Structure 1
Amino acid sequence: MADYQMTIHKQTIQVTSIEGGLQEGKSIIIVGRIVPDANRSHVILQCGSDSKADIALCINPRYEKGSARVMYNTYKNGAWGSERSTPESPIVKDKPFVIEILVTKEAYKISINGKHLMDYEHRIPVIQVNTISVDQNIKLEFTGYQNSLVVPYKTLINGGLQPGKKMVIYGVPNADSKRVEFNLRHRYGIAFHYLSLFDENVVVCNTYENGRWGTEKRSAAVPFIKGHLFQVKIICNREHYEVFVNGVKVHTYKHRFTKLDDVDVFEVHGQLQLIFVNI
C-alpha cells in the first residue's frame, strides 16, 4: 500500500504535521478545489505550526486582474524572499486539482494536474519542514505523504471488499497511451477487469475465473483524455460495481464473482502517470 504518514482529511481548512520532517524521494499530494469567489489561496510547507514559523515553500494561486497565475516563495527569518512565478495556472476555480510536490535533494519538483510547473530550489533544509497548511479558500478533499507511485501498481485491500467500499484513483494518461487498466483481484482470478483501449475508443469490462475470461462487456467511448487529469471512483455495491470518472457515472458492472471479501488486491496497468490511490 502507499506509505502514508498523514491522515486523510476532509476539512475546509487544515494544518497537518509530518512526523520526522520531509524525506527525499517522497511526494506530498494535495487534492481539492478552489472556491469560486477566491482571489488568492495557498498551500504552505512550513517549519512548525506557529504563526511566525519559517515557510520553506508557499504555493500561491492568484486570480486577479482577469488572469490566473501561480506564485512561489519562502518566508525566512521574518521576511519573504524573491518570488518566482508560473505565468499560467492549470488550477481552474471550482474544479478538482491535484498538487504533487516531489522532494529531491536540490529542489521541490511541483506538478499540478500531472503537469510539471516548477523546480523550486531549497532555501530551507527539508528536514526542518514538518507542517502543511491549506487556507480556507481551498475545499480540501485529502492530503497524503507517500512514496512515488509506479505503474504497474498493486496494493492490498485490507479485509477485502464490502458493499459501500469506495476506491479513488487520480492519474493522467500519457500522450501516447494505448490503455488504462484497473483490476480487482482475488487469489484465483480477477473479479472486475476495467480496460480502456484508446485506439479502439472502447471500454472492456470482464471477469477472469477458473482459468478463463468470461463474456466481454464492451462500451463505446473511453472516458479519459490523453494528457488530462482524471479522477476515478469505483464503488462496490451489493449487486454491482459502479465506475465514476470526474464525477460522472460511466459504467455499471454486475458481480460475477460474489465472494466480495475474497477480493483483496487492486492493480493499475497501462501507460499513465499514477498520482494518487486511496483504497
Structure 2
Amino acid sequence: MLCWTTPNLQTPMYFFLRHLSFSDLCYSSVITPKLLESLIIGDSSILYAACMTQLVVFSIFGSLECLILGLMACDRSVAVCKPLFYHLIMTDSVCERLIASCYMVSITTSMLNAAYALQLSFCSAIQIHHFYCDYPPLLKLSCSDTSVNELVLLASVSCVSGVSVITILVSYGYIIFTVLRLRSKVGRQKAFYTCSSHLIVVSVFYGTILFMYLRPGGKYFSDQDKVVAVFYTVVIPVLNPIIYSMRNRELKSALTKILRRMNVVV
C-alpha cells in the first residue's frame, strides 16, 4: 500500500516488491488459516476439493515468488551496473511484460502438476502427515504409480527454480564484478547494502524450497519436512516485510509521513 500511494516509490524495484508482497500474502493466506483452525479448534480435516484448491493456489504463488526474486536480482543488477541507463532499460512496459510472464509460467506449471495430481488414486481414507496439502506428502500416500507425477514435479520445479537461480547468480556475478571495480569504498558499501535485503530473502527461501522439492519421492521425512515447510509458508512471509521495510529508508520515511498525516506520529 505504501508503494502504491507514495509518488517517489513508483520505481521498478518497488513495482516488483509490490508483487512479491502480493504473492507472500496469497500463498500464506491459503495455508495459515487452516493451520490455526487445526491448532486452536482441533479440526484437522479438509475436503478433497479444498485440498486441491490449497495445492494449486499455493503452487501458483510459491512459483511466482521464485520468479519475482529472479526479476528483482536482475533489476538490482541493472541499477548497480548500468545506473545511467536504468530508467531507459527498466521501463514500465518492460516491467509489466516481465511480471506478466512470471504469472503465466506460474499458472501453467501449477495447473500441469494439478492435472496429474487429480489422477492420483487413494485406496482408503487418508491422513496427510503435513499441516497443508502439498505434492510430496500426497505422492507418498497415493496407492497408484507416482513416477510420472514425480517426474513432472521435478521438471516444473527445476524449470521455475532453475530459471530464477541462474538469473540470480548471473545478476550477482555482474554486481560483484562491477562493485569490485569501484574505487570508492563508500560506493562499494552502498552497492552491497542495496542488494543485502534481497540476498537474505533469496538465501532463506531457496534453501528451504530446494531441500523440500528436489529430492526423490522415497526420501521425504514428514517431521523434518514440517519444520522446513514452516519456514517458507509462515516465517518467510513474515520476514519479507521486515527485511525489506526495516532496512529501507524510503519505505520507513513514507510510512512516517502517512502516520503523521493520520496524527498517529507527532
Query: Which TM-score bucket, shorter chain as reference?
Result: under 0.3
TM-score scaled by length of structure 2: 0.23
TM-score scaled by length of structure 1: 0.22
- Return the structure number with greater relative CO, CA threshold 8 A, min gap 6: 2
* Structure with greater proportional strand content: 1
